[in-house]
Structure 1
Amino acid sequence: MKPVTILLFILILLCYSASASASEHARAIDIDSHVITKHKATINDQKISYTVNTGTQPVWNAQGQPIATLHYTYYKRDKIKDDSKRPLLISFNGGPGSASVWMHVAYTGPRVLNIDEEGYPVQPYGLQDNPFSVLDVADIVFVNPVNTGYSRILPNKDGKMPSKAEQKKLFFGVNADVTYLAEWLNTFVNRHNRFRSPKFLIGESYGTTRVSGLAHALQNQQWMYINGVILVSPTDIGIKRDGPVKAANRLPYFAAAAWYHKALTTELQNKDLLEVLEEVESYTIDQYLPALAKGAFISEQEKQHTITQVAKYSGVSEEFVAQNNLDIPNAAFWKELLRDKGYTLGRLDSRYLGIDKRDAGSRPDYWPELTSWLHSFTPAINYYLREELNYKTDVKYNMFGNVHPWDRSNNKTGEQLRLAMAQNPYLNVMIQAGYYDGATNYFDAKYTLWQLDPSGKMRDRLSFKGYRSGHMMYLRRADLEKSNQELRDFIKASLPSADKAAKY
């Protein structure tokens, strides 16, 4: 062989070797993978063993080509002889753009954050057993939508990533999100032989929009009946409440936050929170809402009475209520309530306090609850997946992924949930909400419950549960126990007896 030929051959080998090496060390998630680990726990006073399957499963397009892969964690109780009678709880968080981490390691899973009794982080960061997990009565799968957790969009067969417009059309919108997740769940349920099992969807925050749409899509596109839907700290799910209704619905939440921070009158502070809220809710519906509806044409006498009552129930001054024309924005309330003490309130959980650069201003500088949560959840989930569940990757776990701009048009998920309930006599819905949540306030959640089925014919299949905490009500130890037990009760109550047919 000539020297030039030998040199060319060596160069080709070196290029091939470099290419293979680069490919092997690319920072990419496996498209289709799983890792199995075995565990034991004491849950609801029962000693149980369980298997965890954590991995990835592709999203396919109509041509059968993988266009994304979703990371999941699937908990399955061992020694169950008949899966057809074992409920499957399918869990999503929200954002949109949020990973499934929040409910995974703080609510229903068998391991939860190392936090104090009220839910505040402590060091060293880590996990502890969750004796209240619903794993005793249901298997659970936590799903990360595209670009959250380890889930990622994949390049096409030519190695090119879809454009931002194509990504939005495929994944990043109310209806696109529901469509691809319904297909993905069909595959997951088939792979794990769970088509006969009773199925429950649980979503938190924007996840409630997601599961409301999924209940309909699974029944009408995948022919998969659902036994229950749990809406944790729900969004409006397409049920509009603008104008006076939106403004009025804030007042009970204001009262709850003010009561917690002892900013109400002595008369109200001496009452239990629920007693105060019952009084404020009645005033909101019967008097505050009608007063706001009158706008500029309200009488001076009624306006002054409204100013006095709103100030009394919200803990802010009459002057502040008047300056806001009876309609106090959330951000203004978070800044105003404890302004004289030098603190702001958290948005997602108003028990948390923040410190701003200036006491002046109309909104807080930052959200103290979110910063607290992120620096406790992030190390915990990274440690847990890698060290306890043995899922190792160099891909970053996205607590919040890039999914924007999100297409919020044509959001009919509330109506879709109503229709799914009407089509399926087995389907029940429960709402869980924290009284101190200022982002998706509990009275808006009640309003959603009231408006979901205007006919009232399915009223007995709808329920509301409230908690003395915020958006993630399960962070508070007492509410972790209470919310899991009420979820456990809901699952059991939504399982029809063997001789109960699905008919009216």
Structure 2
Amino acid sequence: MRKLPLVVALTAVLLSSVAVAGTDKKDEKAAAAKSDAAVMVQPQTSTSEGSVTVEGKKIDYKAVAGTLVLHGSGDKEDEPQISMFYAAYFKKGVNASKRPITFIYNGGPGSATVWLHMGAFGPKRVVTADDTHTPAAPYQLVNNDYSLLDASDVVFIDAPGAGFSRLIANDADHGKRAEQMKERKKDVYGVDGDGHAFAQFITQFMSQYGRWNSPKYLFGESYGTTRSAVVANILENEDSVDLNGVILLSQILSFDTSVDGPEFNPGIDLPYELGLPTYAATAFYHHKLPQQPAALEPFLKEVEQCAMGDYAQALMQGSRLGAAQKQAVAEKLHQYTGLPVAYLLKANLRVSGGMFEHALQADTDTTTGRLDTRFSGPSMDPMGKSSDYDPQSSAISSAYVAAFNNYVRTELKFGQNQPYRLFADIDHWDFSHKAPGAHGEALQSSTNVMTDLAAAMKTNPNLKVYVNGGYYDLATPYFAADYEDHHLPIPASLDANISYSWYPSGHMVYAHEPSLKLLHDNVARFIDQTDNLGAH
């Protein structure tokens, strides 16, 4: 056999080695994915103990960090589909079967529940600056004086694909497993699929921990309030689970009320009207009003009346609105928002949330926060039309993420070799929704779950709903929540089942410590009044 030149022989050997290495790496990756799937189909738990002092009262608790595996339905009921992570805290020394239990989750959609866990109701709380950027690590994790454990056991749940929750694709074939994952995302990443996953988690959790006879509550924030309406209806009308209460924080039930991008939905003026009181509160906070009112809340009552009165009537006229009347409305809006009259006229009296955030402090090239308009930061593009980022999110997110990643591994003893995903890897979220009572395949073009909450309230007339929000929240304005709940399709006799509390804070009400104390006290009182147990 003729010998190859040395350089050719070496090249052949190297190419062969690269090919083998590439194959080995591909095989290793496939084997690792298969191994991870095998681990996920088995529920995981890690138990620890601790104590928290809530407003002077010491509470000993057992903590369980773990996963529940959710299966499909019908011919797929034996097929594991989702591994959902939770962190549950159970008060020690009480009758667990009668102790209230609250299922808590953030929104996104597709967000982990690090925010409510580390900022609101867990036994530990991360300390952040009130309305400015929190300095970098090390961050301070302290006893949470306002943990909800004095009133209820609490279960923090990560949405599928977020946190330590994972979608499960366990086919042995790599290609089929990829198709299976694609199918999982399609089934779960949407209003209805997400709602059914959370409802299934809750019923499965109650079975595992013997909590079927406990007073039961849902607590959702932001998109979590959308989820709560869907889950409440599923639990009540598909699973025969009567809830004691649904607690909504920073509510959005109808996406037609959102101030995010209403300019792309012409003819729908409601967002501008419902956002006006938050614009006014923000201008009040930053001292941008032509005449500063003495107090916030009386001022907001005046703005609310204008929003639903003169302002709404002016917008309803569209191009029929006369120049003199348009000028008068712009001058009134200037008094309420601090925005220049010329700007308001050029905007045709319609200012979206992003436009307001960019324009309010434009004279100093400063962008106003979205989730909490008390926050400000340097504008990315001073010449832009809308804000390019949210100063509030940038100011505190790192503290929450770092604190939880350290806490869950060192104190809850979970997730040592797993990445904690702040958000699920969502390619597309299906916002279409089949409302209760809709026939055939009729789907909404814009998500609105007001009918779901109404159905749950009508089939369980004892169900109480508690709505909470911040005056400085432009992601889900408080007046939009008020409007939605006063337009629920329920009989007048059920109106009294809904109560409200508003706070001098933003979307994450609890990021402002005085508001966190009020939120805790109000929610604890709500649970005490609705748990049907008396002292516990």
| Rounded Cα–Cα distance in structure 2 between residues aligned with 1:210 and 1:295 | 35
Shift of 1:83: 2.5
For residues 56-455 of structure 1, the aligned pairs below 5 Å read 56-62=67-73, 63-80=77-94, 82-117=95-130, 121-122=134-135, 123-158=137-172, 160-163=177-180, 165-237=182-254, 243-266=268-291, 269-410=292-433, 411-453=447-489, 455=491
With over 3 angstroms needed to count, the CA separation of the structure-2 counterparts of 1:390 and 1:258, relative to structure 1, is: same
Shift of 1:497: 6.0
The match for 1:34 is: 45
With over 3 angstroms needed to count, the CA separation of the structure-2 counterparts of 1:25 and 1:383, relative to structure 1, is: farther
Instruction: Report if the CA contact (8 A) 1:108-1:133 is conserved.
Output: yes
> Is the partner of 2:486 in helix, strand or coil?
helix
Equivalent residue letter for 2:120:
Y
| Rounded Cα–Cα distance in structure 1 between residues aligned with 2:133 and 2:143 | 17
> Is the partner of 2:121 in helix, strand or coil?
coil
Instruction: Report if the CA contact (8 A) 1:27-1:395 is conserved.
Output: no
Work out the number of aligned pairs and report it.
Answer: 479
| Rounded Cα–Cα distance in structure 2 between residues aligned with 1:195 and 1:357 | 51
| Rounded Cα–Cα distance in structure 2 between residues aligned with 1:245 and 1:97 | 27
> Is the partner of 2:485 in helix, strand or coil?
helix
| Rounded Cα–Cα distance in structure 2 between residues aligned with 1:297 and 1:392 | 61
Instruction: Report if the CA contact (8 A) 1:118-1:477 is conserved.
Output: no
Question: Percent identity between the aligned chains?
Answer: 31
1:494 equivalent in alignment to 2:530: yes
More divergent stretch after superposition (313-322 vs 385-394): 385-394
Shift of 1:412: 4.9
How big is each residue's C-alpha offset from its partner over 1:456-477, in whole Å with a ceiling of 9 and x where there is no partner?
Answer: 2211111111111111010111
Shift of 1:167: 2.3
With over 3 angstroms needed to count, the CA separation of the structure-2 counterparts of 1:475 and 1:119, relative to structure 1, is: farther
> Is the partner of 1:107 in helix, strand or coil?
helix
1:460 equivalent in alignment to 2:496: yes
| Rounded Cα–Cα distance in structure 1 between residues aligned with 2:125 and 2:47 | 20
Shift of 1:378: 1.0
Instruction: Report if the CA contact (8 A) 2:109-2:223 is conserved.
Output: yes
| Rounded Cα–Cα distance in structure 1 between residues aligned with 2:323 and 2:130 | 48
How big is each residue's C-alpha offset from its partner over 1:29-81, in whole Å with a ceiling of 9 and x where there is no partner?
Answer: 6441100000012113211100100011101113322112011000000000x
Instruction: Report if the CA contact (8 A) 2:257-2:274 is conserved.
Output: no
- When the two structures are superposed, what TM-score results if normalisation uses the length of structure 2? 0.85
How big is each residue's C-alpha offset from its partner over 1:426-457, in whole Å with a ceiling of 9 and x where there is no partner?
Answer: 21111111111111111111111211245322
With over 3 angstroms needed to count, the CA separation of the structure-2 counterparts of 1:475 and 1:42, relative to structure 1, is: same
| Rounded Cα–Cα distance in structure 2 between residues aligned with 1:119 and 1:475 | 11
> Is the partner of 1:106 in helix, strand or coil?
helix
- When the two structures are superposed, what TM-score results if normalisation uses the length of structure 1? 0.90
How big is each residue's C-alpha offset from its partner over 1:129-166, in whole Å with a ceiling of 9 and x where there is no partner?
Answer: 11111101100001112110011111234352444651
Q: Structure 1: where are the runs of 5+ without partners?
A: 1-14, 499-504
> Is the partner of 1:452 in helix, strand or coil?
coil
Shift of 1:253: 0.7
With over 3 angstroms needed to count, the CA separation of the structure-2 counterparts of 1:361 and 1:480, relative to structure 1, is: same
Instruction: Report if the CA contact (8 A) 1:105-1:112 is conserved.
Output: yes
How big is each residue's C-alpha offset from its partner over 1:300-343, in whole Å with a ceiling of 9 and x where there is no partner?
Answer: 33222111101110110100110011111211111111111220
Equivalent residue letter for 2:337:
S
> Is the partner of 1:94 in helix, strand or coil?
coil
Equivalent residue letter for 1:151:
S
Shift of 1:285: 1.2
How big is each residue's C-alpha offset from its partner over 1:169-221, in whole Å with a ceiling of 9 and x where there is no partner?
Answer: 32011011111221222111100000000100011111111111100101122
How big is each residue's C-alpha offset from its partner over 1:465-501, in whole Å with a ceiling of 9 and x where there is no partner?
Answer: 1111111010111011011111111111222368xxx
Equivalent residue letter for 2:247:
I
> Is the partner of 2:85 in helix, strand or coil?
strand
Instruction: Report if the CA contact (8 A) 1:68-1:153 is conserved.
Output: yes
